[in-house]
Structure 1
Amino acid sequence: MSNVAVVRMGPTLTLAEKEGLLAALRAAAADETVRAVVLTGTGTVFSRGQDLRELDAALRTDPATASDTVERHYNPITLLLATMPKPVVAAVNGTCAGAGLGFALACDLQVWSATATLATAFTKVGLTCDSGLSATLVRAVGHARASALVLLAEPFTVEQALAWGFAGDVVAPEEVEPRALALAARLAAAAPHALAASKRLLAASAGRSLPDTLRAEAAEQAALGLTPDHAAAVAAFVGLGRRRLGREG
């Protein structure tokens, strides 16, 4: 599927891994031939989050700069996943913790391995949320549940997550990537400008009043109404309706 880019992470987020991930996502976002992206991991790990050995070394060298990676890597990675003008599917093939969970929830759609273990993990190493998790987790499960998951940092199952409000498909481990690729192919075949506009509207919805939302929707609709994709889709729909009427007649 040349119009679907698969971006694969290593088990832990070392400096090299974060820089490679950021570069790969930037390349996918800029490539006009790529219409959808799948983010996944390797083996039975989606991502355990920050590599703690590397973090320990950074703290020993210069504690004042050890957290610079949040601004340099985690923030731009999360922003790319959430705001690139093409859909991103998280194929969560296994363990998903810390920034890994933030990355998964920043994606537009998720496919979860039925055997995956999830965790926020941050407070167990004396840190707090990054990668947008303080916002995406609240939106997914509500403030009270998110507070418990972040403050206690206990691992939880995919079944629990879906019962609390997570979205996505739950499949056997070997079906995660094929299901994600199928979803991405379906999205890649859709009208790209409509998908990009929908991402923009959904991303901004939490901070907008209803009048502002309505104005934004109207502006996006007006712009999309001028695209060839819109005209072709409407013509195809009308043509299908005529053919059905002809058969019924």
Structure 2
Amino acid sequence: MILNRLGNKTKIAGEIQKYFPQHAIYIEPFFGAGGMFFNKPKAKYNFVNDFDDDVYNLYRQLLDNKEELIRMIEMTPVTETQFKQWGKGKREDTPLLNAIRFLFISNFGLYGKPDTLRIGAVNPKKAILEHIDITFEYLGDVYFFNCDFRKVFKKCDYKGNIEKCFCYCDPPYLETGSNYSADFTEQDSFDLFDVLQGSGVKWAMSEFNHPFILQQAEERKLKVNYIGERKNIMNKRIEVLLTNYEIPQYNLFD
């Protein structure tokens, strides 16, 4: 995994996966940094998506121009002036340079945000370079889309194998002031519930115990599984995993 983003599931991926059913086909409409995908057993067929053009472009450049991307990462200096320019939204002229811009403001920014350059004992550039080959290999046979979540299932070929399919969603959480390109609204969440329930597959969705989310879960007769408490400087919230299926007693991944 080479990207650091707010809300990354790396630290709690193992705990969440305990609730995943057996599956051969995996769908993830909100890929982001890939904190879940890169930390779970890989399914036989994988369909992932991210609506954020910067996220998609970064992985596209990795898959299409890996050696040049590595060279640019090695050559690009980390300066506060450059970081501030990129953090203000300054875009570059080519997809490759924009991938570098996005990677640097995400990984060198404090908490994955473009506000403050993070300087410490950990070298983000070294970490990126150490993980870039394995990330490339992991994504090699994955179908990667760049569209609104409402269109993802229409792009996936799973209709003859619904019983083997599983979808995990990690959307931007309601009212969290995320660093995503657009905030997720209650209408977006409502639409996501509709899309998931209309897909016919087993699915799970991460969120906080927001009143609207819990209300939807009750009305739609979903299971609410409590993952644990998450704290930050401002507050503490309860992480939940909503599922449309009974939790399996054991987990095997094809």
Same fold (TM over 0.5): no
TM-score by length of 2: 0.29
TM-score by length of 1: 0.29
Which has the larger share of helix? 1
Task: Select the structure with the greater relative contact order (CA < 8 A; seq sep ≥ 6).
Answer: 2
Higher Cα Rg, which structure: 1
